[in-house]
Structure 1
């Protein structure tokens, strides 16, 4: 696969007109007409994710960039000739079931556009059974569309790549790059699916073995004086907590978890916590964390969008994070000062009266016109 090195800097802000019907308009808006800086369609005023613009390849490049240079880079692959670009090694799952009839045998093929990696097909299918049917990412269904929409909503590309943002200054670019380094180092995670008690222990046992071998080599088989051996029960990720026990409970709903049912672990949360597949949700929006990608902060699971919102203010108009002090705050909402204008007529509203309708900023004249309709 070949990628032009400039593609990673190609901005979504200047997309050409695309034939992509809006799901929110129920077919009334059949084409996406990009606004110059808002993340909306000029025609119907709906968000770009309602038009589902990204292709699979674009999504895989975005997630590859997110996971690159993090402890989860093993889920990415380097693109040949791509100047270091990495793409997401998305795990698809294809299930083929024979259809028994009196005629020639036929087969029913079901393709999941994403499935938890590293599992047997039996366990992966069992995991999917715990996800609401309408959210299962089966190709060609509403569940697959829902996944793509959540990839855009929860992990906006302009929260990780300054080249996808609208006219950042040099200092703002540096601030954004620092934020990205921070969350990749301290907060970004990818959930792991396993049966209760069967994920952290294997990893910790391997780590303990490596530590023991290194210590033995350093001390020639003897324990060094003044250097007590690590207590296996006190390690981070905690071997003791990951060992099988009699009863497990979901971190969210607090209900008991069967030892025969797959659960989700978050390494950053520690292997003493686990979640039902349907309970692995963002604490802020209560939406399932797409592809199990989460951000861990202050003991809570967050999607990428709401983690970034907890670090920086977000402009209601352009949907980008604000890295300068030149912004306006009103009624708990924030705008870049240059974006404080009417969503309908684009009239600047600094020092003028305005109305807020479902977080949309309107001048008085447009607000009255809408109310009369």
Structure 2
């Protein structure tokens, strides 16, 4: 028994998620078993993204390889163990304290950092990031020494007020009591207040920008597309990551039996799209585009990392929450683009042509140029109109593509194995392209060249498999109807178009070319025959 388990482990070790349950077929699927050249499960014919498979590590490696040897090296890191490039997806967890009903109580003072849109609060308070970029006003200057930010108190001899601001609290002002000598400011002990904290985890958020702006970007996406952990939006991102960026479009090792010549052609294709088409969208504010474009010219940023935020002196990397000021022109600081929303300049969305609003995040694509912006929900593939996963795009002839459909625009794709075809010889059938060796029965994988086949759900099936699994049965003789045989169908019932099958169930009169009525799967030639059948 131990040997059998060990052999099975070795056999399935290369299959990610072997045995995982299918989320579509439920108990009908015995568990995920990867087909040896199709990118589907052998048991239920569903894709790996339809199974309960944890793909985060593999997907990160796939996208890491996509960005390897490009200007977007700031988005990847080398794994310490094996040196494989890995994508840093920038998962973000936000803790939002909910307001509780209680009396106002003095709170420790906090310090406002001008220009950063952030408040430095004592570590005892839960971190808070508002869903929208908020404008804070600095506290009134005090006449005297001020405690360092984060110490939780502000002591100013002779100062009239102590300003305190923080998430979920109002500023508390207390007048100093006149005395004959300097008296240190003190706070009366108050009962501890417990805030209800709501934690929200985003599977992905735009990296390298002010957190409030990133959350506002997510708010502008359709609700069912927001990548919140445990929701349909997170499942959508997972499926689009697998669909839009197939690993077999960039890695010859993921393809089935490529010849040395095909491997070379694929490597040249990959190098071409990395140099000419691949890009990652950036978040900016419409009102800053004109000024930044003038400052940066058409060169864009020169530093490594996410490519192309115009006017950014340095380019941030994912996870660097503190570089919002450098990259976004002090987003969130007083007067930095947070005026009432409204049309700005001549900028309109490149897709929907509606004007961009001042203070609202917009998506910028470096390869498209400084004159084009998109609403967050409009940054989609021109072919499938799906949101570009993690804002990864391919730019070609003035259009945005996802990785899959950019590949389809460059090379034919095999409908059998889902791989791009780099061979000069391939076949076309039923409106699709096929490797010669992959025009096979979808059920049993037998080669269909020169054989009779039937298209079932847009998949070719050989005649024996069709008769066994897909053929409808004649309501008269109960035998399956062959694909080339003539048939008569009425509702959910079918008959051989022959006198011995398509006849009156009462008097056996042939009904070919005659008027008839159907009753519970029976054919009747007249009202009289109907009365006889009903009476019996």
Q: Residue 49 of structure 1 corresponds to which residue in structure 2?
A: 49
Does residue 1:149 correspond to 2:239, yes or no?
Answer: yes
Deviation of 1:298 (Å): 1.1
Q: Deviation of residue 195 (structure 1)?
A: 1.2
State the shift of 1:192 in Å.
0.8
Separation (CA, whole Å) in 1 of partners of 2:17 and 2:86: 26
State the alpha-carbon separation in 2 of the partners of residues 355 and 365 from structure 1.
10
Deviations 1:223-281 (A, max 9, x none): xxxxxxxxxxxxx9999xxxx95232111111122112111111111110111111111
Residue 195 (structure 1) aligns with: 285
Q: Which residue of 2 aligns with 1:277?
A: 376
Query: Is the counterpart of residue 32 in structure 1 residue 19 in structure 2?
Result: no
| Contact in 1 for aligned 2:293/2:370 (Cα 8 Å) | no
Equivalent position of 2:268 in the other structure: 178
CA contact (8 A) 2:281 2:365 kept: yes
Structure 1 residue 179, shift from structure 2 partner: 0.4
Partner of 1:95, secondary structure, is: strand
Larger RCO, structures 1/2 (Cα 8 Å, 6+ apart): 1
Distance 1:153 1:297 in 2: 19
Aligned pair in 2 of structure 1 residues 193, 168: CA closer, same or farther (>3 Å)? same
The match for 1:126 is 216
Alignment CA distance shift 1:344-1:30 (3 Å) = closer
Are 1:159 and 2:249 counterparts? yes
The number of residue pairs the alignment matches comes to 333
Paired with 2:466 and 2:375, the residues of 1 have a C-alpha distance of 45
Q: CA distance change for structure 1 residues 275 and 52 in 2, over 3 Å: closer, same or farther?
A: farther
For the aligned residue pairs, the C-alpha RMSD in angstroms reads: 2.8
Check whether the contact 1:200–1:237 (CA below 8 A) recurs between aligned residues. Answer: no
Alpha-carbon distance change, 61 to 203 in structure 1, aligned in 2, over 3 angstroms: farther
> What secondary structure is seen at the aligned counterpart in 1 of 2:288?
coil
Structure 1 20/133 Cα, relative in aligned 2: closer, same or farther at 3 Å? farther
SS at match of 2:345: coil
Using a 3 Å threshold, how does the CA distance of structure 1 residues 173 and 208 change in structure 2: closer, same or farther?
closer
Matched, 1:372 2:462: no
Query: Are 1:110 and 2:200 an aligned pair?
Result: yes
Are the structure 2 counterparts of residues 20 and 245 from structure 1 closer, same or farther at C-alpha, using a change threshold of 3 Å?
A: same
**For 1:171-228, what per-residue CA distance to the aligned partner results, in whole angstroms no more than 9, with x for missing partners?**
1111111000000000001011111143575376256899xxxxxxxxxxxxxxxxxx
- Judged with a 3 Å threshold, the aligned counterparts in structure 2 of structure 1 residues 206 and 187 are, in CA distance, closer, same or farther, namely same
Which moved further from structure 2: 58-67 or 195-204?
Answer: 195-204
Distance 1:314 1:321 in 2: 4
Change (3 A) 1:209 1:329: closer
Q: 1:160 and 1:361 mapped to 2: Cα distance? A: 27
User: Alpha carbons of 1:257 and 1:201: their partners in 2 closer, same or farther (altered >3 Å)?
Assistant: same
What is the distance in 1 between the residues matched to 2:46 and 2:277? 31
Deviations 1:12-40, CA, capped at 9 Å, x for gaps:
99416624222332554362111111111
Q: What TM-score do the two structures reach when normalised by structure 1? A: 0.82
Q: Would you say the 8 A contact 2:309–2:364 is kept in 1?
A: no
Report what 2:92 is aligned to: 93
Is the contact made by 2:287 and 2:359 (CA closer than 8 Å) also made in structure 1?
no
Q: Does 1:340 align with 2:439?
A: yes
Question: What stretches of structure 1 of length at least 5 have no aligned partner?
Answer: 1-11, 211-235
SS of alignment partner, residue 29 of structure 1: coil
Matched, 1:319 2:439: no
Find the aligned partners of 1:31 and 1:297 in 2 and give their Cα distance.
Answer: 40
